[in-house]
Structure 1
Amino acid sequence: MQEYFVDLHIHIGRTKSGRAVKITGAKSLTFSNIIRHARDYKGMDMIGIIDSHSPEVLDEMEDLLLAGDLEEHPGGGLSYGGMSIILGSELEINDESTQGPLHVLCYLPTLQTMRKFSIWLETHLKNINLSSQRIYVSGRNLQRKVKELGGIFIPAHVFTPFKSLYGKGVKHSLTEVFDPEMIDGIELGLSSDTMMADQLSEIHRYPFVTNSDAHSLAKIAREYQKIEMREPSFAELSLALKESEGRRIKANYGLDPQLGKYHRTVCAKCLTPIPSNDEVCTECGSGKIVKGVADRIRELKTADGNQLGRPPYIHQVPLEFIPGLGPKMLEKLMDHFGTEMAVLHSVPLDSLKQLIPEKTAITIDKARKGQLGFLAGGGGKYGKIADM
């Protein structure tokens, strides 16, 4: 078995022609830019493009195949010079079975099956060209279609206060919306980790995935996983999610939940932290409260969070969060050491000190060892590293 770094949730901001796909995504998030940046700068081995259903995105992939820049992997997915691309689609469900909108991730094995899925989606969406669109079928019907096409189905960023399974979508249980037998994994999101998520007993049966949900090139691989597989392909990824035939997720790498944008409950107007049971902000008087992930999980708690057999969840601080590490210094690190994965995982502290200021190098090393303190984020604002 080999080990591969995998980020399965990257958005397309614009097509090759400039048409918007993820409206809130950066214009630089074109398919070609993403695959180059993810492989050559970030050091990823497998990525999931989560807007592959968009017809212009599919056309660009086919053009690159014809030009010889991409190849179809025999085990599913596309290959770009050693890095694999998994074709996915993020969709929104909001019907009579839900309490509010929730997002899901659907992955298909081949370009042909994604094209079939796109044609089917077009009859159930208002705009097939855009990302994260509401689909006018039930969650169970969507699951059945994905499975009919040999796909993988994963609820997305499940605790985020907006547009997620437990944040808005259900009152108590995923069975209100989904068939639990047709779920292949649970995506945690930036404001929770394994210990927090395992306080819900109904998701003990599923593997947890940690992905970036990147809306810009810089955000790629802010969360990811290390997966043991024979090769980076769709078929091998499917086996790893099942922990079958020796394939497995070996480790999850994600933000310390305090760095996430929705960890604590805050006032939506002034971002003052709010006790979980308060309904009005004592600072500004606003009644608009954004419930934090930590408080929502406490409401739903049915277990102690010590589920055995999970891969380790390693709190990762992306380089862009490191104080004093600006774009020029980051570029210097990449030019010298190759990729962000190399700096985060393998470059010795002494080597870092020879290239960048000692204080910054020590901060990177402390981040790798889990020795930093944080000020928790909330209400859409990221947490940050506490003064050292």
Structure 2
Amino acid sequence: MAEYFADLHIHIGRTKTGRAVKITGAKTLTFSNIIEHARDYKGLNMIGIIDSHSPEVLEEMGQLLQAGELEEHPDGGLMYGGMSVILGSELEINDESTQGPIHVLCYIPYLDKMKAFSSWLSFHLKNVHLSSQRVYISGKDLQRKVKELGGLFIPAHVFTPFKSLYGKGVNQSLTEVFDPDMIDAVELGLSSDTMMADQLSELHRYPFVTNSDAHSLAKIAREYQKIEMAEPSFHELKLALRGEDGRAIRANYGLDPQLGKYHRTVCAECFTFTPSYDEACSKCGSIKKVKGVADRIGELKSSAGLQYGRPPYIHQVPLEFVPGLGPKMLEKLLDHFGTEMAILHYVPLESLQNVIPAKTAAVIDKARKGELRFLAGGGGKYGKIAD
């Protein structure tokens, strides 16, 4: 057994030919750029590409397999050197049961099965080339198709105010939309953590995953998990989500929820913090609000909190959030220590101080120890480090 760092929610911005996949994703987010950056700069051992259904992305994967740069693992996933690529698809459902669009993540074990999934999807959505497209079937029908292909089904960023299971303020339970027995895990999103999510008793049965939802190379691994497996493959990931045969998620690493874009309720016009969702903004008088994740969870609360046996949720500050740590200084750190995973987990403070200013090194160290203070985010704006 070994421990592996995994970020299972990374978008494709453009194909190799320049065709848009995730329209809001960076143009540099091509498949080839992602796998190189995730392995060699971030230090990840497993990634999920959740636009793998796009035909040109599938074509590029096939070309890299033929060239010998990728190799299909017999237990699922594509191997790029020592890093595993899990094939996934983010889709949007919005039938009469959802009361608003909901994003879900579907992971398929093998390339030929993902091609079959892509072909099937082309009959149920308007543009199979694009990411996060609305699929015109029910959530339960989509679950059944994923399971037919041997896949994994995970509701995405379940508390964010837009396009999520709980965020819209209408859906009160996942059983209204999904078959609970065909859910393999729940993705928390940037503005919540394990303690917050476990206040919903219906989530107690599911493992929590923490992923970046990266729309740029820099955002890869801003959230991830440490998984104990025999090797990085699709089958081993499935066992880890089930907690079987000694496989398990050993730790979730994510932003302190205050750093997330939707942690607290704010005025939709001026972003002023608004303690009451129903009162006019004290600054501009607007009655339009963006409800924060913390307040939404408070409405749904049905449990006291953390369940026994959960892995630790470790609040982590991505290096790009560290004040004073610009691209050149980050490059200097990477030149010395190899990957962001090494810097965030293993490099001693004294070694950091030998490479970058002591003040910046101290912030990184305080972040690793959970000693920083934050100004909470909301309404689509990230929080900030207050120290």
Instruction: Measure, in 2, the Cα distance between the counterparts of 1:17 and 1:279.
Output: 50
Structure 1: distance between partners of 2:194 and 2:291: 20
Q: Does 1:38 align with 2:38?
A: yes
Aligned position for 1:282: 282
Structure 2 CA distance for partners of 1:219 and 1:253, relative to 1, 3 Å: same
The corresponding residue for 2:79 is: 79
- Give the conservation status (yes or no) of the 8 Å contact 1:276–1:295: no
Indicate conservation of the 8 Å contact 1:53/1:128, yes or no: yes
Aligned letter for 2:177? V
* Aligned twin of 2:2: 2
Percent identical pairs in the alignment equals: 80
Residue identity opposite 2:159 in structure 1? F
For the residues of structure 1 that align with 2:276 and 2:253, how far apart are their CA atoms?
A: 28
Evaluate the alpha carbon distance shift between residue 154 and residue 169 of structure 1 in structure 2; reply closer, same or farther with a 3 A threshold. farther
State the match for 2:164 in structure 1.
164
Indicate the SS of the match to 2:60.
Answer: helix
Equivalent runs, 1:95-110 vs 2, <5 Å: 95-110=95-110
Match runs of 1:99-138 below 5 Å: 99-138=99-138
User: Quick check: 2:87–2:114 contact (8 Å CA) kept in 1?
Assistant: yes
**Partner of 1:174 in structure 2?**
174
Q: TM-score, normalised by structure 1?
A: 0.99
CA deviations 1:309-330 (Å, max 9, x no partner) are 1000000000000000000000
Taking the aligned partners of 2:244 and 2:141, their CA distance within structure 1 comes to 27
Alpha-carbon distance in 1 for matches of 2:89, 2:348: 38
Task: Tell me how far apart the structure 2 counterparts of residues 125 and 290 of structure 1 sit (CA, whole Å).
Answer: 29
Aligned AA (2:51) = D
Residue 341 (structure 2) aligns with: 341
SS in 2 for 1:87: strand
After TM superposition, the score normalised by the length of structure 2 is: 0.99
Q: Using the alignment, how far apart are the partners of 2:343 and 2:280 within structure 1?
A: 44
* SS of residue in 2 equivalent to 1:91: strand
User: What letter matches 2:356 in structure 1?
Assistant: I
Asked if 2 retains the 8 angstrom alpha-carbon contact of 1:279 and 1:289, the reply is no
Closer, same or farther in 2 for the Cα pair 1:107/1:166, shift >3 Å? Answer: same
Q: Contact between 1:252 and 1:311, CA under 8 Å: does it hold in 2?
A: yes
Matching residue of 2:241: 241
Q: Give the Cα–Cα distance (whole angstroms) in 1 for the partners of residues 316 and 115 of structure 2.
A: 36
Partner of 2:359: 359
Q: Counterpart of 1:89 in 2: which secondary structure?
A: strand
Is contact 2:277-2:289 (8 Å) kept?
no
Which residue does 2:379 correspond to in 1? 379
Q: What letter corresponds to residue 101 of structure 2 in structure 1?
A: P
CA deviation after TM superposition for structure 1 residue 288, in Å: 1.5
Q: Which amino acid aligns with 2:245?
A: E
Structure 2 residues not aligned, in runs of 5+: none
- Large movers: runs of 4+ above 2 Å: 276-280
Distance 1:68 1:170 in 2: 49
Question: 8 Å contact 1:320–1:326 — kept in the other structure?
Answer: yes
Shift of 1:286: 1.6
| Aligned-partner residue type, residue 22 of structure 1 | K
Please give the root-mean-square deviation of Cα atoms over the aligned residues, in Å.
0.7
Deviation at 1:171, TM superposition (A): 2.3
Inter-partner Cα distance in structure 1 for 2:82 and 2:196: 35
Indicate conservation of the 8 Å contact 1:165/1:174, yes or no: yes
CA distance change for structure 1 residues 64 and 327 in 2, over 3 Å: closer, same or farther? same
**CA displacement at 1:306 relative to structure 2:** 2.3
The CA deviation at 1:193 is 0.2
1:253 and 1:313 in contact (8 A); partners too:
yes
Return closer, same or farther for 1:109/1:8 CA change in 2, 3 Å cut-off: same
Give 1:170 deviation, angstroms. 4.7
